[in-house]
Amino acid sequence: MTLKGKHVLVTGAGGFIGSHLTEALVTEGAQVRAFVRYNANGRWGWLDDSPEKERVQVILGDICDRDSIRNAMEDCAIVFHLAALIAIPYSYEAPHSYLRTNVEGTLNVLQSARELKIERLVHTSTSEAYGTARYVPIDENHPLQAQSPYAATKIAADKMVEAFHRSYDVPAVTLRPFNTFGPRQSARAIVPTIVSQCLAGETLRLGNLSPMRDLNYVLNTVEGFLKAALAEDVIGRVINLGSGQEISIDDLASRIAAIMGQRMTIEQEANRERPPGSEVDRLLADATLASDLLDWKPSTAFDDGLRLTIDWIRNHPDEYRSETYAR
């Protein structure tokens, strides 16, 4: 099977992972439709500057509006559902927004997928659904635990996908990426936070330094999405996408500074830490299922991914305000 000539839709196509996935699908020869959140300026997010934008049909809409997402999905064989509110700190302040976008938005996609009888829905979950690891590495049978409003809404969305598959035979597969990083990622994430501050001075202002994370370069994650769209025996499954390696935030800061050839002083700021009981202390993926079912494993090494990300952020300084904590 191949994606060449397939009519596909990417929700959240203007975002970090979504824009990279959209470009990869164009390269694969798919007929790509990009669903981007409507805004008054008519902007397409990261697709505005994409070299592939002329080969993509962009549709502006709102995942919370069932009519707009159904119209966007019309005549599509495969739907990659990435549209979501993702910033964990902001979810403490605006949980209802996350409920509407992540749960109701996913419900709109599922109802449309059922009505339109699409061939496959590739749904995006998150490793935050596991909460702090009860055992490592974390496989897909690990209990789910919501330690933030964001995680709670993603778990709910995952369960809606499961319910629609079991109840109505909606052909869905759920991918659960661990911490993805790379070019275009906002300063709400830890890697661009560290890199942008290294470029700005000699002080890193961070929160909790002890959590362990499984970090994976964005094009590795995108490759998992492409494979999940075509693989056999994945419908109804949840599949981890992770590197199987872990690093603490403290060591990550040192690693990035070393690659950049800088000496940095770390200052911890309480306002950058999660509320007590909410911090996810450890995430480490077991990606055996991805290897077995998707023939997938990370192709870009961690340090190589960091160098690519550093170079991109260095060349796009206007995208980051290092003095401001991006929630």
Confidence category of residue 324, pLDDT binned at 50, 70, 90: low
Q: What's the pLDDT tens digit per position in 80-100?
A: 999 999 999 999 999 999 999
Confidence band of 28 (pLDDT split at 50, 70, 90): very high
pLDDT in tens, 204-253: 999 999 999 999 999 999 999 999 999 999 999 999 999 999 999 999 99
- 1 vs 228, more confident: 228
pLDDT at 1 over 90: no
Q: How far is CA 76 from CA 117, 167, 314, in A?
A: 9, 22, 38
CATH architecture observed for domain 7-181+218-242+283-299: 3-Layer(aba) Sandwich (3.40)
Structure tokens at 51: 């070299």
Kindly list the domain boundaries of the chain, sorted by start residue. Answer: 7-181+218-242+283-299
Per-residue pLDDT reduced to its tens digit, 47-68:
999 999 999 999 999 999 999 9
CB 36 within 8 A of CB 66: no
First to last CA, the chain: 41
**Quick one: pLDDT at residue 303?**
98
* Long-range contacts, stretch 232-237, CB < 8 angstroms, 24+ apart: 233/293, 234/173, 234/293, 234/294, 235/120, 235/165, 235/171, 235/172, 235/173, 236/162, 236/165, 236/166, 236/172, 236/173, 237/140, 237/173, 237/174, 237/289, 237/293
Contact status, residue 59 vs residue 10, Cβ threshold 8 Å? no
Which of 184, 235, 219 lies closest to 297, judged by CA?
Answer: 219
Q: How far apart are CA 192 and CA 233, in angstroms?
A: 36
- Give the Cα separation of 155 and 173 in Å (integer): 14
Rounded mean pLDDT of the chain?
96
The token duo for 244 is: 């199987």
Predicted confidence at residue 320, as pLDDT, reads 87
Token pair of 116, please? 């339109």
Residue 323 pLDDT > 70, yes or no?
Answer: no
Q: Is the pLDDT of residue 326 over 80?
A: no
Quick check: 157 pLDDT over 80? yes
Question: What is the pLDDT at residue 322?
Answer: 62
Rounded Cα gap, residues 279 and 320, in angstroms: 25
